[in-house]
Structure 1
Amino acid sequence: MNTIIAFIVIFGSLVFFHELGHFLFAKRAGILCREFAIGFGPKVFAHKKGETVYTIRLLPLGGYVRMAGEDPEMTELKAGQRIGVVFNVAGEAVHLIVNGRDRYKEARVIEIEKADLEHGLTISGYEEGEEELKTYRVHREALLTEDNLSTQIAPWDRQFNSKTLPQRAMAIFAGPLFNFILAFIVFVLIAIIQGIPTNDPMLGKMTEDGAAIEAGLKEGDHVLAIDGEPMSSWEGIVTVIQDSPGKELTFDIERDGEQMSLDVTPTIEEAEGETFGRIGVHSPFEKSFIGAFTYGAKEVYFWTTEIGRLLGTIVTGQFEIDMLSGPVGIYAATDTVAKSGILYLMKWAGVLSINLGIMNLLPLPALDGGRLMFFLYEAVRGKPVDRQMEGMVHFVGFALLMLLMIVVTWNDIQRFFLQ
């Protein structure tokens, strides 16, 4: 149960921050955001606030912000069509009812001659019982109802494609950007809570069954020398210990102003065919509020380059499908990390957030990076790509990504649960 909660919190937070980036910069550009969704598929929860519907959907495979103009807009009103229209006190149409108008007693029936719900914001037609053609103003936030579904109209200046290229690009780039910002915040919080790793020749926290604690060493001991060799850094201490599996070492330490010597025998450990020593001591930490921000930036840089290096194996031909993990693989890894404590879980969340940001920036159709590539092409060409062609490319890309997700998920199930 704890793993399920941890997975939901972590995965939900990553998706939420990603979509929050899209949402905030779209709103900043004046784009009408119809829906802010976490997950795909059927709605589990929905709440409308302002002009946006906030939803949680059944399949936890991501999320989206539905911006006006990205998809085909609402039903087009055609000449000869009879609709119900509700007006406000200023004489503006605030509700257009395509069907089911009988349920709206205040609606006036109008036979449409011409409608412009994007630029001119007018409808022209004949009111029931009259022969005179009239033109009515439409409120910028009018609703259009069809089949019991009401949708706010989107004037052209509220649609995604009406915005400048930099505004559109920023609304898309902000998603991955917020994943990096989230990772930075997480790493800063870790540094504030536990401190910043230092390279001082000091001993940090110790494992309960380690050789160090059995020999009498304590957290905070200043290591002066090991077997007579002066120690000036934590890395130096680690090197000596790892190179001495099963060999007794004499630690000259200083504790509370007093110097003493203690004998420690590193246990013999083996990994990837190599043998090394271990005494069960973690690196030392120091508290620094300002340093925590530097640590956060360094961790973001480190994990960005590490994930980038892994992706580089695609180019070199060393990449294998087993190197990918889907939700099932992430769940299994979260279960392992959760057993190590909250700080390890936080670090795992930070790494996942960076990974999500990088993956979304890949220049693949249906991903943010693919959309940014179309914007780059538009900037060079001087005009946008045909919307239908771009939509088809993204549709095919999304289908292929879903297929890859299925393959990866099945691979994860075999790897973690069927072995």
Structure 2
Amino acid sequence: MNTVIAFILMFGLLVFIHEWGHLIFAKRAGMLAREFAIGFGPKVFAFTRNETVYTIRLLPIGGYVRVAGEDPEIIDLKPGHHVGLEFNEFGKVNKIIVNHKTKHPNARIIEIEEADLDHALQIKGYEVGEEEKLVFDVDPKAFFVMDERETQIAPYDRQFASKTVTQRAMQLFAGPMMNFVLAIFIFLILGIIQGVPVEEAQMGEVIADSPAAEAGIKEGDEIIQIEKDSISTWEEFHTIVRSSPSEELNVTVLRDGEEIALTVVPNEAEGVEGEESFGQIGVYQAFEKSILGTIPYGISQTYETSKLILTNLGMLITGQLSIDALSGPVGIYDATDQIVQTGFTNFLLWTAMLSINLGIVNLVPLPALDGGRLLFVGIEAIRGKPVSPEKEGLFHFIGFALLMLLMIVVTWNDIQRLFL
């Protein structure tokens, strides 16, 4: 049960912060955000606030912000349609009843001759049985009423396409950006809880029965020399040990102001697919409490984790990593189950890594992802005019179908790994 709760909270946080970035920048640009959704599929819960419907949906495989103009509008008034019109106190149309007009006895029934709800915000037509042409001004925040459900109209200046290239690019980039911001914030919390790593090669926890413990290395020791090489940073120490599996290393440690000579032989650890084996001696880096140090720590950890994920992504693209290395929701749940059992700080670290991963993957220029849509905005900026909506829509539709196919394959691999 702890794993289920942890997974739901983690998934909800990652998706919420990503989509919240899209939502905030859409509203700042004046776009009409119709829906803010966590999950896909049937609605489980919904409420409306400030023009936006907030929903939680059944399938926990992502989320979205539906902005007016990104997809074809649901309702299109055509000549010959009969609609009911209701008016506000200023005489402007504030409700357009598409069907079930008998449930709105105060509505004026109009046969449409022409409707422009993008620019002029006018409806022209005739009352049924009359010949006099009437012109009705429409409130910019009027609603369609269809099957007794209200949907706000979207004048062109509230649609995605009406905004500048910069505004649209920022709205698309804001989701991944917020995932990086979340990761920095989580690393800040980790820095406050456990401290920040010291720059020197100072030992933290020494694992029992490890090569370091057998060599006599203790917590608090500082490695100042390996063989004839002076050591001043943890990175230098880590690099030498990692590159020396099964090799005898003469090290000099500084303990309580005294230099002590020791000998350690790193174990040979097997690398992941595509990597060579490496050495490890079973010690953790020392940490120190530093409130000011948490800020650069949060930024640097986010940067280093991003580099690692990008390296693995590059290996996947070049074929150095197979598709079997990918994990979907099932694999992430299984990993979360194992990590939750190791403690809260490791769970926070896992959440930060997944947040960075979500941000990077969404910036990959693939169809249906933020990066794919940013690609089209970039093409528009270069050529001076947008790609036709039909071509872009087909590109994203095919891409989304392929991504769903990839998700099925990855999920199947995850399930197989669980039972092998």
TM tier relative to shorter chain = 0.7 to 0.9
Distance 1:412 1:64, change over 3 A: same
SS of the counterpart of 1:23? helix
Q: Report the counterpart of residue 16 of structure 2 in structure 1.
A: 16
Question: How much does 1:393 deviate?
Answer: 0.9
SS of the counterpart of 2:106? coil
Q: Report the counterpart of residue 155 of structure 1 in structure 2.
A: 155
Contact 2:22 2:65 in 1 (8 A): yes
- Separation of aligned partners in 2, 1:333 and 1:388: 41
SS of the counterpart of 2:83? strand
**Farther off after superposition, 102-111 or 11-20:** 102-111
- Separation of aligned partners in 1, 2:168 and 2:409: 33
- Separation of aligned partners in 1, 2:232 and 2:84: 83
Question: How much does 1:83 deviate?
Answer: 1.4
SS of the counterpart of 1:370? helix
- Separation of aligned partners in 2, 1:231 and 1:108: 85
SS of the counterpart of 2:285? coil
Query: Residues 51-110 of structure 1, C-alpha deviation per residue, up to 9 Å, x if partnerless?
Result: 000001111111110000111113222223221111111111111101111112322222
Alignment partner for residue 409 of structure 2, among 378, 384, 407? 407
Distance 1:33 1:247, change over 3 A: closer
Distance 1:127 1:189, change over 3 A: same
TM-score normalized by structure 1?
0.87
Contact 1:226 1:252 in 2 (8 A): no
SS of the counterpart of 1:200? coil
Question: How much does 1:168 deviate?
Answer: 1.1
Contact 1:244 1:266 in 2 (8 A): no
Q: Report the counterpart of residue 290 of structure 1 in structure 2.
A: 292
Q: Report the counterpart of residue 301 of structure 1 in structure 2.
A: 303
Q: Which amino acid aligns with 1:72?
A: P
Distance 1:314 1:249, change over 3 A: closer
SS of the counterpart of 1:151? strand
1:104-143 equivalences in 2 (<5 Å): 104-128=104-128, 130-143=130-143
**Farther off after superposition, 105-114 or 300-309:** 105-114
Q: Report the counterpart of residue 65 of structure 2 in structure 1.
A: 65
Q: Report the counterpart of residue 2 of structure 2 in structure 1.
A: 2
- Separation of aligned partners in 2, 1:197 and 1:171: 36
- Separation of aligned partners in 2, 1:224 and 1:311: 36
Distance 1:150 1:310, change over 3 A: same
Contact 2:180 2:302 in 1 (8 A): yes
- Separation of aligned partners in 1, 2:130 and 2:167: 46
Contact 1:22 1:65 in 2 (8 A): yes
SS of the counterpart of 2:204? coil
Query: Residues 223-266 of structure 1, C-alpha deviation per residue, up to 9 Å, x if partnerless?
Result: 78999x99865568776898899999997732xxx9798x9997
Q: Which amino acid aligns with 1:354?
A: I
**Farther off after superposition, 107-116 or 350-359:** 107-116
Question: How much does 1:11 deviate?
Answer: 1.7
**Farther off after superposition, 117-126 or 76-85:** 76-85
Provide structure 1 residue ranges, at least 5 long, that are not aligned to the other structure: none
Contact 2:202 2:222 in 1 (8 A): yes
SS of the counterpart of 2:37? strand
- Separation of aligned partners in 2, 1:371 and 1:200: 45
Alignment partner for residue 396 of structure 1, among 367, 391, 398? 398
Question: How much does 1:375 deviate?
Answer: 1.4
Q: Which amino acid aligns with 2:419?
A: L
SS of the counterpart of 2:110? strand
Q: Which amino acid aligns with 2:339?
A: V
Q: Which amino acid aligns with 1:38?
A: I
1:284-363 equivalences in 2 (<5 Å): 284-363=286-365
Query: Residues 137-174 of structure 1, C-alpha deviation per residue, up to 9 Å, x if partnerless?
Result: 11111110112221000011001111111111111111
- Separation of aligned partners in 1, 2:139 and 2:35: 21
- Separation of aligned partners in 1, 2:322 and 2:211: 39
Query: Residues 323-380 of structure 1, C-alpha deviation per residue, up to 9 Å, x if partnerless?
Result: 2111111111112222221111111111111111111111111111111111121122
Contact 2:69 2:160 in 1 (8 A): yes
SS of the counterpart of 2:139? strand
The count of residues paired between Structure 1 and Structure 2 equals: 413
- Separation of aligned partners in 1, 2:338 and 2:317: 31
**Farther off after superposition, 110-119 or 394-403:** 110-119
SS of the counterpart of 1:358? helix
- Separation of aligned partners in 2, 1:277 and 1:164: 53
SS of the counterpart of 1:290? coil
Question: How much does 1:199 deviate?
Answer: 3.4
Distance 1:121 1:190, change over 3 A: same
1:45-64 equivalences in 2 (<5 Å): 45-64=45-64
Question: How much does 1:297 deviate?
Answer: 1.3
Alignment partner for residue 369 of structure 1, among 365, 371, 378? 371
- Separation of aligned partners in 2, 1:113 and 1:389: 31
- Separation of aligned partners in 1, 2:241 and 2:303: 29
Alignment partner for residue 272 of structure 1, among 270, 273, 298? 270
SS of the counterpart of 1:178? helix
Question: How much does 1:391 deviate?
Answer: 0.4
| 1:44 has 2:27 as partner | no
- Separation of aligned partners in 2, 1:179 and 1:266: 41
- Separation of aligned partners in 2, 1:31 and 1:236: 51
Q: Report the counterpart of residue 173 of structure 1 in structure 2.
A: 173
Distance 1:214 1:144, change over 3 A: same
Distance 1:30 1:231, change over 3 A: closer
- Separation of aligned partners in 1, 2:386 and 2:351: 37
- Separation of aligned partners in 2, 1:382 and 1:243: 57
Q: Which amino acid aligns with 1:271?
A: A
Provide structure 2 residue ranges, at least 5 long, that are not aligned to the other structure: 272-276
- Separation of aligned partners in 1, 2:382 and 2:235: 50
- Separation of aligned partners in 2, 1:360 and 1:277: 34
Distance 1:267 1:315, change over 3 A: closer
**Farther off after superposition, 379-388 or 30-39:** 379-388
Distance 1:108 1:289, change over 3 A: same
SS of the counterpart of 2:26? helix
SS of the counterpart of 1:282? strand
SS of the counterpart of 1:383? coil
Distance 1:277 1:62, change over 3 A: closer
